Structure 1
Amino acid sequence: MSVKPDTWIEKMAREYEMIKPFSKDRIVKRKISSGLSSYGYDISLADEFRFLKKGITLVDPKHIKETDFITQKLDFCVIPPSSFILARSKEYFRIPRNIITICLGKSTYARCGVIVNVT
């Protein structure tokens, strides 16, 4: 199986709602792009972010407490120094069973020291 081109991605998004909402056009806002590109799709962040509450200094990954976080709807997000946020994409994906996808962080963010872990 080969890497799928933008024409295939667009067809699957339009006919089978593989990506919803879907943007055929490459959208550039303040130099951070999103939308369809050749052999890929750049996702965009939703307006909902989760921050660790002030004073929380330890997070046990095996026993995460929902009460340790606050959720905010924002047009943009400023990440506090030495901290992290949780976010999600605007898009929802329905990937066919016979297709493998990979999601990577954007180099635009990496150059600012922001590491993206996709789950």
Structure 2
Amino acid sequence: MAGVKAYTLREKSKAELEKQLEELKQELSGLRARNSTSSNPSAATKKTHDVRKSIARVLTVINQSQRSQLRLFYKNKKYLPLDLRVKKTRSLRRALTTRQKSLVTEKQKKKQIAFPQRKYSLKVC
């Protein structure tokens, strides 16, 4: 059963995925028991590796499908859960908002009124 492909898993229902996950976990526990009791533990190491990776693929597909369903549920809602929001970069998250950038102190407002930006025009001869 090792070597499951993600594209085949995406076609299955949630119940089928959970059933396959249980089978893979049972197979993994059997392989671990065989590894601990056998005199040559490296014989089943490759098989154990494949089963572990298959379990990870099944769990990944389950989580992806759950997240996509949640995205559909919250599509037109006012608020979005934190784990579904876009993360962006650290600097973008820390940056000031446009409103915060446009705020001006009273002193600066008075300076702008008293000394407005001068406009010059040059006469071309």
With structure 2 as the length reference, what TM-score do the two structures score?
0.20
| Larger relative strand fraction | 1
With structure 1 as the length reference, what TM-score do the two structures score?
0.20
